[in-house]
C-alpha cells in the first residue's frame, strides 16, 4: 500500500476544476494508474483520497492506493512542488502502518465520511426498493460512527464531529458536488476525529485498506491513524 500527499496549486485551472467537481477529481486521480484497464478501476487500485488544507491554506490531497501511482501523469503544474520528471511527491509505503495495528492498540484517527442510512420505499413496478438518506444531526453522526466501529473492529474512546471540507475553493461546507454522465452528484460529508482502540486487528486493517462508508470514489472513507498522544 502507498500513501501520497499532494499539495495542489490553487491557481491552476485543472485544480480549480477538480475541486469543484468530485467526479472529475476522481477521474484525474485514476490517471495516475495508467496500466489498470478493468471495469471497476477504483476497487482494483484500492484508491481512496481525502481533501484537506495545509497551514497556509493550500489544498492538499491525501491519496491511498494498493498500487504505486505515477503522479508525473497529472496535469502540468497541478502540484506546487515535487513534480519534476519522474518524481512522486510525498509518496510513502504504508506497510509499517499496517504492522503497527494490533489488538488493543490505541490510535488517534481522522475520517471524512458520508454518513447515511438505508430506508425502504415502494418501487414503481412491484416489490420494494431502498434509498440512501443522509444523516444531518450530531447524534445521528455519533450513532453511525458507533455502528462503523462495531463493523470494522474498533472501539471509540473519544469522538468529535464537524461538517467536512471547510473553506476549500469551489466547495460548500460539508458538501461534495460534481457531474457524472450528465447527472448531478452531491454528497454531504462529516469529519470524524478522536481516539480509538483496536478490537480486531485484521478487521481494522481491512478498514484501513478498503475505507469506511459510501462515497469512496469522491473523497470519503479514508481513515488515517497516528499515535494517540
* 109-110-113-116 Cα dihedral, nearest 10 degrees: 40
Share of the chain above pLDDT 70, in %: 88
Is residue 221 within 8 Å of 212, Cβ to Cβ?
A: yes
pLDDT in tens, 68-88: 999 999 999 999 864 443 456
CA dist 19 and 25 (Å) reads 7
pLDDT value, residue 34: 84
Burial label, 164 (beta-carbon count in 10 A; 0-12, 13-18, 19+): buried
pTM, whole model, 2 decimals?
0.88
pLDDT value, residue 55: 86
- Sorted by where each starts, the structural domains of the chain and their CATH numbers stand as 2-96 (3.30.70.1200), 101-226 (3.30.70.1210)
Q: What is the grid cell recorded at 49?
A: 483520497
Range in 7-16, 25-34, 169-178 the model is least confident about: 169-178
pLDDT value, residue 84: 42
Q: What mean pLDDT comes out for the span 153-158?
A: 98
How far is it between the farthest Cα atoms of the chain?
Answer: 58
Is residue 59 within 8 Å of 169, Cβ to Cβ?
A: yes
Is residue 93 within 8 Å of 1, Cβ to Cβ?
A: yes
CA dist 77 and 229 (Å) reads 37
Closest-CA residue to 7 (of 64, 53, 75):
53
CA dist 43 and 68 (Å) reads 14
7 Cβ neighbours under 8 A, 6+ residues apart: 54, 58, 59, 60, 79, 80, 81, 82, 89, 90
Closest-CA residue to 49 (of 57, 34, 60):
60
Cβ atoms within 10 Å, residue 166: 12
CA dist 166 and 191 (Å) reads 10
CA dist 190 and 47 (Å) reads 20
Amino acid at each position: 500500500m502507498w500513501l501520497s500527499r499532494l499539495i495542489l496549486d490553487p491557481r491552476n485551472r485543472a485544480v480549480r476544476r477538480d475541486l469543484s467537481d468530485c467526479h472529475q477529481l476522481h477521474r484525474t486521480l485514476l490517471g495516475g494508474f495508467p496500466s489498470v484497464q478493468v471495469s471497476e478501476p477504483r476497487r482494483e487500485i484500492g484508491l481512496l483520497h481525502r481533501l484537506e488544507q495545509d497551514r497556509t491554506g493550500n489544498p492538499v490531497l491525501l491519496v491511498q492506493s494498493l498500487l504505486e501511482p505515477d503522479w508525473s501523469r497529472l496535469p502540468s503544474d497541478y502540484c506546487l512542488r515535487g513534480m519534476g520528471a519522474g518524481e512522486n511527491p510525498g509518496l510513502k509505503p504504508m506497510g509499517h502502518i499496517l504492522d503497527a495495528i494490533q489488538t488493543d492498540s490505541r490510535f488517534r484517527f481522522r475520517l471524512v465520511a458520508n454518513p447515511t442510512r438505508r430506508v425502504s420505499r415502494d418501487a414503481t413496478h412491484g416489490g420494494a426498493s431502498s434509498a440512501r438518506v443522509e444523516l444531518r444531526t450530531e447524534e445521528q453522526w455519533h450513532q453511525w460512527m458507533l455502528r462503523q466501529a462495531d463493523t470494522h473492529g474498533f472501539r471509540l474512546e473519544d469522538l468529535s464531529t464537524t461538517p467536512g471540507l471547510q473553506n476549500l475553493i469551489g466547495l460548500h461546507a460539508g458538501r461534495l458536488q460534481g457531474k457524472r454522465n450528465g447527472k448531478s452528484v452531491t454528497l454531504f460529508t462529516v469529519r470524524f476525529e478522536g481516539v480509538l482502540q483496536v478490537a480486531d486487528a485484521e478487521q481494522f486493517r481491512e478498514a484501513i485498506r478498503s475505507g469506511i462508508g459510501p462515497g469512496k470514489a469522491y473523497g470519503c472513507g479514508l481513515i488515517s491513524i497516528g499515535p494517540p498522544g
